[in-house]
Amino acid sequence: MAELHDLSAMQLRNLLRSGTVSAADAAAHFLARIGQQNPRLGAFITVTGDQAMEQARAADARYSRALDSDLPLLHGMPLAFKDLTDVAGVVTTHGSAALEHKPAPSDAPLVSLFKDAGVIPLGKTQVPEFGLTAYSENRIAPPSRNPHAPSRSSGGSSGGSAAAVAAGLLPFAPGTDGGGSVRIPAAACGLVGLKPGRGLVLAGESAGDPARLVAPGPLARSAEDAALMMDALAPGNGYLQALRQEPSRLRIGVTLDSPWSGTFPFTPDAEALDALRAGKALLEHAGHVLADAAIRYDNRYPDAFTTAWTAGVGTARISPTREALLAPLTRTFRRRAQQRSPAKLAEALAFLRQFQHDTVAQYGQWDLMLMPALAQTPRPVGWFTGTGHGSERWPAAQWPGDADGDYRKQCEFAPWSSMVNVCGLPAITIPVYWTGGTPGSGLPMGIQLVGPMGSEVLLLQVAHQIGY
């Protein structure tokens, strides 16, 4: 029998439901795996082993009294949550040294949703400060590293969760995506990452998100595992069952156009274009029709998106005496957000609504849109901040302060992510290419498919159809 961490989430779920593996055995196995691997990867900030084992034993006791039809969908499945999400009795750090780290009094709605589905939380995973960046490095814990190349970043802001899934520390994990925070780390770590459309999973929405950018979604090793999680996130839509059907022939528009190009001109790495070619070949072999699509984006987008994206950090409750503990990027964008007038934010939000209308109309000429997932290979740890350290953590006084250079690097790294959140559309990243030539060798690179509202099933079907 394969090791539990080598099984797909679907296989493990079935063993737990059949009683072949107990929830306690599964939790103990993954906790041991975390103990072995996390010092090298920095995927977890907090591990809640005692709490997990207590909950797993309680799940086993319920199993002994339940009929199979009464078991929750994810009975006994080990899981972890980003350290932006409250889990009752566990500290939520938000990746920030500027906050007091106190245990959360109650579960966030997303955690309640998964607990009702039967999961066993094992801890909290590494995030950037307040989830603001495309890399998961902060001042309170070691950086999250890419299991395929530990000198490289696992992406962000769901970087710790992605590293944990890719390294077999978890069977799958939920992330939250407000500007690419599921899709970027999924692409960096060689996973399938799905961002559902706006409003599908209400449990993951945030009060500090005036543009309604954030959506929770699965980080998984396959479309099937992602569909299993979607059946918990959005019950009643039959994602797993739908994978039995092949999608009809689709018209897919291929584009490298980005709304960031005017402000931050960039050239995609050769590896990004290799991944795009590999994705095109797989989709054409599956019978879909691909053609180039020219998309025109309004050049006012970068300023408006940044205004909306950073509004929440401007209102975060941080003691003035602790603001110096913020990372330079957070501190800079917090100050700018506080200096903006309410009218400036309202103007940005109005522009983004018009941008959504115009962009969705252009995408609507196609069944799906195809583009690279990332413009560059996964970046070295410390590359965005200019530390280049790769060490465990940097004292606050030594962290360089080029917030604008950091932000520009992120936008050039992931130029096809945030506009999908602004438009509220579903999107999936698929790891179709590896720089070493074979799956699992070298660094992963992926493609992104963007669909119309309500196309989550279709995106999962296409990913499954081409072998993922």
CB 242, CB 224: distance < 8 Å: no
Q: Tokens for 179?
A: 């500007």
The 78-82 sheet, strands edge to edge: 44-47, 120-125, 78-82
Quick one: angle between helices 456-465 and 223-233, nearest 10?
A: 160
Residues in the chain: 468
Q: Tokens for 65?
A: 């009294």
Residues 6+ apart with CB under 8 A from 448: 183, 187, 370, 371, 372, 373, 416, 417, 420, 427, 428, 429, 430
Q: Judging by DSSP bridges, how do beta strands 173-177 and 215-220 pair with one another?
A: antiparallel
Q: Name the active-site residue from 153, 158, 161, 181.
A: 181
Q: What angle do CA 151, 152, 157 make, to 5 degrees?
A: 135
CB 225, CB 192: distance < 8 Å: yes
CB 260, CB 412: distance < 8 Å: yes
Q: Name the active-site residue from 22, 157, 158, 417.
A: 157
Residue with tokens 């710790």: 160
CB 311, CB 130: distance < 8 Å: no
- Told to judge if 112 belongs to the known catalytic residues of this protein, a careful annotator would answer no
Neighbouring C-beta atoms of residue 220, cutoff 10 Å: 29
Q: Tokens for 168?
A: 């077999």
Q: What is the largest CA-CA distance in the chain?
A: 62
Task: Give the span between the Cα atoms of 81 and 99, in whole angstroms.
Answer: 19
Buried b (16+ CB within 10 A) or exposed e, 341-360: eeeebeebbebbeebbeebe
Q: Letter for the amino acid at 242?
A: A
Question: What residues does 372 pair with on adjacent strands?
Answer: 447
Task: Give the span between the Cα atoms of 205 and 256, in whole angstroms.
Answer: 29
108 — phi, psi (to 5°)? -65, 155
Q: Tokens for 96?
A: 């920030």
- Told to judge if 157 belongs to the known catalytic residues of this protein, a careful annotator would answer yes
Task: Give the span between the Cα atoms of 378 and 148, in whole angstroms.
Answer: 10
Judge if the upstream peptide bond of residue 157 is cis by omega within 30 degrees of 0. Answer: yes
Q: Name the active-site residue from 82, 115, 124, 195.
A: 82
Q: Which residues form the catalytic set?
A: 82, 157, 181
